[in-house]
Amino acid sequence: MCDISVFVRKNGMEEKVLENVDRIEEVAGGGIRLVNIFGEEETIRARMILYDNSEKRMIFAPM
**pTM greater than 0.75:** yes
19/52 Cα distance (integer angstroms): 14
Please spell the DSSP secondary structure of 23-56, one letter per residue.
Answer: EEEEETTTEEEEEETTS-EEEE-EEEEEEETTTT
Would you kindly state where each structural domain of the chain is located, as residue ranges?
4-62
pLDDT tens-digit series, residues 43-55: 999 999 999 999 9
Average pLDDT of the residues in 17-34? 94
